[in-house]
């Protein structure tokens, strides 16, 4: 088994957690494949990585499209690390969510993660080496009002990753989950910028994308099933189990108040 992966595919590398993770992984000597739609941003990041002595390649792709995902796989083929990070959110009542946004969210947050994993995993298993890191959210364990589809996509990622972690145990391939709390990126800006999108309540708080990237780097060095970022958010499944009844009562009031102030 090769203990030092050479190629890391990072989706959603044009901003936030993905860009910070790509920088970090490139600094550790991996050749990073930068995947997202905004190609100018990817080229800028590639130049930055290369001027710091790292190695990067740009692959413009819309991950809501199956053809684009296949193209990513065909161009890379053998990846040592796959970071399924691309994703976006939307805040408000599900009944007011445009179907086009819900469908795109299912395609990017859920289908792209599943499809890219399906494409890259067999090669990793054959080589008995590789690591798939899925960037999820604590929203997967606390399905809050206002983020119904988003939370469901992250709950899917949780279940999918946990099951695969168990399937691949002992194969030399690792599948891990990052359950992040609020992170200061363009995530909230992108959510409110979409049709009918409200302000995500956590938009002013959170850790930095660089902090999450450092945790991902460490996760790749020391593989585990799941990490919480920050670590103390490991209480979230317990909060839902113990205080879900309270959120049933207070959550709707919060959403109504946020809806009025938007």
Ligand X SMILES: NC(=O)c1ccc[n+]([C@@H]2O[C@H](COP(=O)([O-])OP(=O)(O)OC[C@H]3O[C@@H](n4cnc5c(N)ncnc54)[C@H](OP(=O)(O)O)[C@@H]3O)[C@@H](O)[C@H]2O)c1
User: Does residue 16 bind ligand X (CB under 6 A)?
Assistant: yes
Q: Which of 55, 106, 143, 186 binds ligand X (CB under 6 A)?
A: 186
Q: Catalytic site residue 91?
A: no
Is residue 81 within 8 Å of residue 25, measured between CB atoms? Answer: yes
Q: Which of 45, 63, 121, 175 binds ligand X (CB under 6 A)?
A: 63
Q: Which of 117, 137, 168, 176 binds ligand X (CB under 6 A)?
A: 137
Comparing CB distances to ligand X, the nearer of 80 and 157 is 157
Whole-number Å distance between alpha carbons of 159 and 157: 6
Nearest to 217 by CA among 133, 108, 95: 133
- The stretch near ligand X (CB under 6 A) out of 13-21, 44-52, 120-128, 163-171 is 13-21
User: Does residue 134 bind ligand X (CB under 6 A)?
Assistant: no
Q: Output the smallest distance, CB 173 to ligand X, in A.
A: 22
* 3-state SS, residue 215: helix
Whole-number Å distance between alpha carbons of 55 and 48: 10
- Tally of CA atoms within 13 A in the half-sphere of 249 that contains its CB: 3
Contacts (CB under 6 A) with ligand X, residues 79-108: 85-88, 108
Q: Output the smallest distance, CB 22 to ligand X, in A.
A: 10
Q: CB neighbours of 115 closer than 8 A, spacing ≥ 6?
A: 66, 69
Which residues form the catalytic set? Answer: 150
């Amino acid at each position: 088994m090769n203990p030092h992966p050479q190629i890391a595919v990072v989706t959603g590398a044009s901003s936030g957690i993905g860009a910070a993770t790509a920088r970090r992984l490139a600094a550790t000597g991996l050749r990073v494949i930068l995947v997202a739609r905004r190609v100018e941003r990817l080229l800028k990041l590639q130049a930055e990585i290369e001027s710091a002595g790292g190695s990067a390649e740009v692959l413009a792709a819309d991950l809501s499209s199956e053809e684009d995902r296949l193209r990513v796989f065909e161009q890379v083929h053998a990846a040592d690390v796959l970071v399924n990070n691309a994703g976006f959110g939307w805040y408000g009542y599900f009944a007011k969510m445009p179907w086009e946004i819900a469908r795109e969210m299912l395609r990017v947050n859920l289908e792209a993660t599943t499809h890219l994993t399906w494409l890259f995993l067999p090669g990793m298993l054959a080589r008995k080496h590789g690591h798939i890191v899925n960037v999820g959210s604590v929203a997967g364990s606390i399905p809050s009002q206002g983020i119904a589809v988003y939370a469901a996509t992250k709950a899917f990622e949780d279940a999918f990753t946990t099951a695969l972690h168990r399937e691949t145990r002992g194969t030399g391939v690792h599948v891990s989950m990052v359950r992040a709390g609020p992170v200061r990126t363009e995530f909230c800006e992108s959510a409110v910028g979409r049709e009918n999108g409200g302000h995500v309540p956590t938009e002013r708080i959170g850790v930095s994308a660089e902090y999450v990237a450092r945790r991902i780097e460490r996760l790749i060095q020391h593989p585990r099933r799941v990490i919480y970022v920050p670590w103390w958010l490991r209480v979230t499944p317990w909060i839902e189990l113990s205080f879900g009844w309270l959120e049933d009562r207070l959550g709707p009031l919060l959403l109504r108040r946020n809806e009025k102030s938007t």
